[in-house]
Amino acid sequence: MSRIGKRVIKIPNGVQVSVEGTCLYFKNNKTAQILETHGRVGIVLENDSLRFEPVGDSAQSKAFWGTYNALANNVVVGLDKGFSKVLEINGVGYKAALGHKVLELTLGFSRPVKHPIPEGVEVVVDKNTITLKGSSKQQIGQLAADIRAYRPPEPYKGKGIKYSDEVIVRKAGKTAKK
């Protein structure tokens, strides 16, 4: 049995949930999100709690049971509290600037890298840190991974873009022979 699938999701006061067929509609005062289950799980919405039930006894249906529970929980937490990721830029001359719906990164290439900011994501740039905030965990994580991919940290000097909680294991450089 799935331990994650058994979990009951408590719906906070600011979040409204409705079920129409196989779709779950989540809404707060600012944004709305949809979770399509494609009939892979049963949906039970009672008062201020949401839970899922497996459709069959196969391993696949139990996997969907836990997956959709986790996805729905991420949507509820995102609409209630939100998600954030912090990236750090290390390196001489490396910097970030915020334009109109564009994050401009100077990372040692011949031209600055301009990355568009998707709708529903708030970006804050402060010196050498970039903070991404939003209600979708998947969207924030993907945006952070895309930005980090422009210049991942290298192991010798630690230059590049890294997550704030990431530890870069340093390598020893070449030593001169005597």
Tokens of 145: 């991974």
Residue ranges in the chain whose pLDDT is less than 50: none
Tokens of 41: 């799980």
Measure CA of the first residue to CA of the last residue in the chain; give whole Å. Answer: 64
Task: Please give the Cα distance from 84 to 123 (Å, whole number).
Answer: 10
Per the CB < 8 A criterion, the answer to whether 122 and 133 are in contact is: yes
Task: Please give the Cα distance from 78 to 87 (Å, whole number).
Answer: 19
What percent of the chain is predicted at pLDDT more than 90?
79
Q: What is the pLDDT of residue 1?
A: 53
Q: What is the pLDDT of residue 172?
A: 87
